[in-house]
Structure formats: C-alpha cells, structure tokens
C-alpha cells in the first residue's frame, strides 16, 4: 500500500502523536518514514553587527529545535522497527517546504498533526495542516489531538 511516508514535525504534542500513528502505519504496511523539520528563515535585514549575531543565535536555536523534533520522530520509528531518515530544510513558507519534500522524496502519504482549531481562531492563526491538505498531490492523514 504505502511505501514512503512523510512526517513533518515541529516537536509539538500533535507532532508526537502523528509520529506514533505514522510509525504504526508504516510497520503494518512495510513503509519507511521520512521526517522533515522546516525552519522559517530569520528576517535578516543586514544592518549592523547585531543582525549577524541575531541570525546566528536564531539559526542555532532553530537547528537545536529541529534536532530534538527529528530525534523524537526517530525514536518512534525505532520503537516500531521502521526505517527512518530525517532532514531539516529552510523555507519561507512551511507548507511549501513540506510539499516540496514529499515530492522530492517520492512520498506516497503525508502524516501530520493538527491543533484542531476551528472557526475564527483557525482563520486568524492559519493552519499548515490545512494548507498541506489543500495543495498536496498525495493522500494526507491528519492526526488530531
């Protein structure tokens, strides 16, 4: 059925639940998991030394968060004995980074968590999951908490 499952992660509780669900599904179908963490680039304006220092601090923190999030996903895969590969990418628009990765890696399913915001709150906050769902060319499984 599914051979390669993309699991975008941000390290949240929703992402952890999606990781567990994806690992269970991958084990039952013999699929492998590709994890991705999308870093939103620093709004660097290039004025003065403080901007360069701010950029370095931001990237160090973002890469640390990415490493922790991907480690969480790797552990879920290890528990379920599922092959895993993870990567961190930088994109201005998170959902586009997820969709580009799904296409580049030839993934046939995307499994991701959602906060489940509804109504006005969802309109104001937006939703990466909603955007992935709307623009993906492969099936998307949304895991809600």
CATH number, position 97: 3.40.50.620
Looking at per-residue confidence, does 125 or 16 come out higher? 16
> What pTM was computed for the model?
0.88
- How many structural domains are present in the chain? 1
CB 98 within 8 A of CB 38: yes
pLDDT of residue 43: 67
Which of 42, 94, 88 is closest to 67 using CA atoms? 88
Looking at the chain, the whole-number percentage of residues with pLDDT higher than 70 is 84
* Beta bridge pairs of residue 90: 39
Q: Which residue has the tokens 């999951």?
A: 129
pLDDT of residue 125: 47
Looking at per-residue confidence, does 5 or 144 come out higher? 5
Query: With 60 as the cut, is the pLDDT of residue 50 above it?
Result: no
What is the domain range of residue 113?
4-144
- Distance in angstroms (rounded) separating the CA atoms of residues 74 and 62: 18
What confidence tens digit (pLDDT) does each residue in 79-108 have? 999 999 999 999 989 999 999 999 999 999
pLDDT of residue 145: 75
Give all strands of the β-sheet with 4-8 in edge-to-edge order: 84-90, 32-39, 4-8, 109-114, 140-144
């Amino acid at each position: 059925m599914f051979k390669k499952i993309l699991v975008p992660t941000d390290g949240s509780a929703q992402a952890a639940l999606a990781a567990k669900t994806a690992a269970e599904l991958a084990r039952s179908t013999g699929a492998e998991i590709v994890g991705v963490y999308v870093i939103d680039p620093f709004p660097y304006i290039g004025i003065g030394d403080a901007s360069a220092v701010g950029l370095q601090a931001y990237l160090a923190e973002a890469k640390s968060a990415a490493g922790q999030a991907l480690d969480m996903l790797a552990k879920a895969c290890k528990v379920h004995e599922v092959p895993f590969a993870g990567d961190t990418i930088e994109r201005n628009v998170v959902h586009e980074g997820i969709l580009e990765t799904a296409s580049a890696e030839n993934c046939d399913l995307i499994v991701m968590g959602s906060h489940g915001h509804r109504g006005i709150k969802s309109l104001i906050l937006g939703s990466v999951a909603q955007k992935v769902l709307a623009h993906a060319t492969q099936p998307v499984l949304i895991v809600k908490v």
